[in-house]
């Protein structure tokens, strides 16, 4: 059975997930960048990353970078990005592409409290022309120094935290999630296998997070090793 602390963290994450913010990666090949974007997405409550790797698909994520976030963030790999973006637009999402163009706007000026797909291109070519054609907005991150760009994983993290800031101010991280969201995440995260009772997850947890049961466990079981007595 999950400890009280682990139950609290899982329940809180379920209700804080922002399912109407989606990230898309346009021709991003580097496994470090992909892994870091997943980690930042999980940290800010974003649940889905759509990945168009183009031709240079890495065989696996970098576990030292992703830190297990691939379990908690849905990674959808597509053979073509544009049809997926058009499908999401038909569902009511707007598309924001990171692209320094004449009509581009500061990413902080976007109202991120509504459904958006935010697209990041690779560092060499940026977003593709096909992506730019379907985008509702081009956004950029202001640069105050001599460099003209950030690593994609850094740019993504900065953007995610602005999205979090706006949504937290609007109370979107403190609401009770719809039942469908709870059931979908319960299935996606495999919580039945971890012996979580779905009925107990239907409301956000109350109070403060319980203390860590063991300084090295964070609420999960600790493997106990027998004490070795020194030789006399």
Task: Assign domain 18-169 one CATH number from 3.40.228.10, 3.30.56.10, 3.40.1280.10, 3.90.1170.50.
Answer: 3.40.1280.10
- pLDDT (tens digit per residue) in 52-85: 987 665 556 766 787 878 889 999 999 999 999 9
CB-facing half-sphere around the CA of 62: CA atoms within 13 A: 12
The domain ranges of the chain are: 1-17+177-217, 18-169
Tokens at 139, concatenated = 């956004």
Neighbours of 162 (CB within 10 A): 17
Instruction: Quote the longest CA-to-CA distance of the chain.
Output: 79
Q: Enter the pTM of the model.
A: 0.86
Tell me the C-alpha to C-alpha distance, in Å, between residue 214 and each of 3, 10, 94, 200, 220.
11, 18, 45, 24, 9
pLDDT tens-digit map of 172-217: 999 999 999 999 999 999 998 888 999 999 999 988 898 886 544 4
């Amino acid at each position: 059975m999950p400890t009280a602390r682990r139950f609290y963290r899982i329940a809180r994450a379920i209700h804080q997930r922002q399912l109407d913010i989606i990230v898309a990666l346009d021709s991003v090949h580097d496994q470090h960048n992909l892994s870091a974007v997943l980690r930042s997405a999980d940290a800010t409550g974003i649940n889905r990353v759509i990945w168009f790797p183009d031709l240079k698909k890495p065989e696996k994520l970098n576990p030292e970078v992703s830190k297990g976030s691939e379990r908690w963030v849905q990674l959808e790999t597509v053979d073509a990005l544009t049809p997926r973006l058009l499908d999401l637009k038909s569902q009511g999402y707007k598309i924001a592409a990171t692209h320094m163009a004449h009509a581009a706007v500061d990413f902080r000026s976007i109202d991120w409290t509504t459904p958006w797909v935010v697209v990041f291109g690779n560092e060499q070519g940026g977003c593709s022309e096909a992506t730019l054609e379907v985008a509702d907005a081009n956004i950029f991150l202001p640069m105050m120094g001599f460099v003209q760009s950030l690593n994609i994983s850094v740019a993504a993290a900065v953007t995610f935290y602005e999205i979090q800031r706006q949504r937290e101010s609007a109370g979107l991280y403190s609401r009770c999630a719809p039942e469908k969201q709870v059931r979908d995440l319960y299935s996606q995260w495999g919580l039945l296998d971890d012996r979580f009772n779905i009925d107990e997850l239907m409301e956000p947890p109350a109070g403060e997070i319980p203390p860590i049961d063991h300084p090295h466990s964070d609420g999960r079981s600790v493997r106990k090793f027998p004490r070795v007595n020194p030789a006399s």
